[in-house]
């Protein structure tokens, strides 16, 4: 008997074909929830290709900390939007939207199913809601001014600036995400208008899927994954990146799974302390992702037992 999820996806694909629409599967949810394994199963079952919607897996040489797929897995199913830029290169939501849409078009032309997979909610929504993103190219002068303000007054001051100038944008950005706060401020100061991510006409027929874990179980999965990252050589990976000239100031090196270990490398904290900080930061990140995806009403949630059944029998 066909699994319920597989049955629903089959019906969805038939309806999309009848309507002459481009289907797009979206496998979303918090970190460590099994998105990669589930997307691989779906890609193999429905002749699909995977587009990564992970803000860290776009960077080359950052494999362990971003929990990137290995070469064996990439041979099973073609992946897009992985290893496309160097760690110090700038990459925006508009860049992601453009490249992801290009990949979806390419996949559909070859009569395959595009599967957008990841936990970066803004990236996913930029594609499926066809956000009409503001045209505000980088302004070095404004960036220098904002950097000076940040260095002098700190992240809270910068965030309060955004709250005053564009409260709608501010409430959607975590105060600790200095890069996003600064970019929103840059847009406001450059365009003299609040940042807008207006929805455009949807380009795809979308079916969203996520695994609904008990929170404590998910946290255990996160803790285990961090331990495995250390065992696989995360510290050596960071040291290699530093040796190649990718310093702590690089955009990618400020990502989760990397920035937590600089105090250890500087001799300021023990590895165990930094590892615990990594676990805590990842759990907090997952908590925000749960809130984000929990607000969405069109996600087809599957339970862990169905998830395990799928990866056991279909992979």
1-12 residue pLDDT tens: 458 999 999 999
Q: What is the CATH number of domain 140-191?
A: 1.10.20.140
Higher model confidence: residue 90 or residue 274? 274
Task: Give the mean model confidence (pLDDT) for residues 204-208.
Answer: 97
Give residue 137's Cα distance to chain centre: 22
Half-sphere exposure at residue 10, Cβ-oriented, CA atoms within 13 angstroms: 7
Of 49-53, 58-62, 156-160, 166-170, which range is least confident? Answer: 166-170
The percent of residues above 90 in pLDDT, for the chain, comes to 66
Higher pLDDT, 194 or 123: 123
What is the DSSP secondary structure assignment for residue 21, as one 8-state letter? P
For residue 90, what pLDDT is reported? 83
d(C-alpha 33, C-alpha 19), whole Å = 32
pLDDT of residue 25 exceeding 50, the answer is yes
Give this prediction's pTM.
Answer: 0.81
Q: Which CATH number fits domain 4-132+199-215+293-313: 3.40.50.2000, 1.10.1200.10, 3.40.50.300, 1.10.10.60?
A: 3.40.50.300
For residues 239-268, one letter each, b for 16 or more C-beta atoms within 10 angstroms of the residue's C-beta and e for the rest, the string is eebeeeebeeebebbebbbbbbbbebeeee
What would the pLDDT profile of 125-151 be if each residue is shown by its tens digit? 999 999 876 666 667 888 888 888 888
As a whole number of Å, the CA-based R_g of the chain is 20
Q: Is the pLDDT of residue 114 over 60?
A: yes
When the pLDDT of each residue in the chain is averaged and rounded to a whole number, the result is: 91
Q: Among 172-186, 225-239, 279-293, which is the least confidently predicted range? A: 172-186
**CATH number of the domain located at residue range(s) 216-287 in this protein:** 1.10.287.890
DSSP string for 129-149: TT-B-------HHHHHHHHHH
Domain boundaries, the chain: 4-132+199-215+293-313, 140-191, 216-287
- The span from the CA of 293 to the CA of 50, in Å, is 20
Q: Do the two domains 140-191 and 216-287 of this chain adopt the same fold?
A: no
């Amino acid at each position: 008997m066909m699994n319920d999820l597989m049955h629903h996806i089959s019906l969805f694909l038939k309806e999309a074909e009848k309507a002459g629409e481009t289907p797009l599967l979206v496998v979303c949810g918090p970190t460590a929830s099994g998105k990669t394994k589930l997307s691989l199963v779906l890609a193999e079952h429905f002749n699909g290709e995977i587009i990564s919607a992970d803000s860290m897996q776009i960077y080359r040489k950052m494999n362990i900390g971003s929990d990137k797929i290995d070469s064996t897995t990439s041979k099973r199913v073609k992946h897009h939007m992985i290893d496309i830029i160097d760690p110090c290169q700038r990459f925006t939501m508009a860049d992601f939207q453009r490249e992801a849409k290009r990949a979806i078009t390419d996949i559909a032309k070859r009569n395959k199913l595009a599967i957008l997979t990841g936990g970066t909610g803004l990236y996913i929504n930029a594609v499926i809601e066809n956000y009409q993103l503001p045209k505000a190219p980088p302004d070095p002068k404004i960036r220098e001014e904002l950097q000076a303000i940040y260095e002098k007054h700190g992240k809270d001051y910068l965030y309060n600036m955004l709250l005053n100038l564009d409260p709608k944008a501010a409430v959607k950005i975590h105060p600790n995400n200095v890069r996003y706060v600064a970019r929103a401020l840059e847009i406001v100061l450059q365009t003299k208008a609040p940042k807008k991510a207006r929805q455009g006409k949807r380009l795809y027929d979308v079916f969203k899927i996520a695994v609904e874990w008990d929170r404590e179980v998910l946290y255990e999965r996160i803790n285990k994954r961090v331990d495995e990252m250390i065992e696989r050589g995360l510290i050596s990976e960071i040291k290699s990146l530093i040796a190649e000239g990718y310093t702590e100031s690089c955009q990618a090196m400020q990502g989760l799974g990397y920035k937590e270990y600089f105090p250890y490398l500087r001799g300021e904290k023990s590895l165990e302390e930094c590892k615990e900080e990594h676990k805590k930061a990842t759990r907090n990140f997952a908590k925000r992702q749960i809130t984000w995806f929990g607000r969405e009403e069109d996600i087809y949630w599957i339970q862990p037992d169905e998830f395990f059944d799928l990866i056991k029998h279909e992979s």
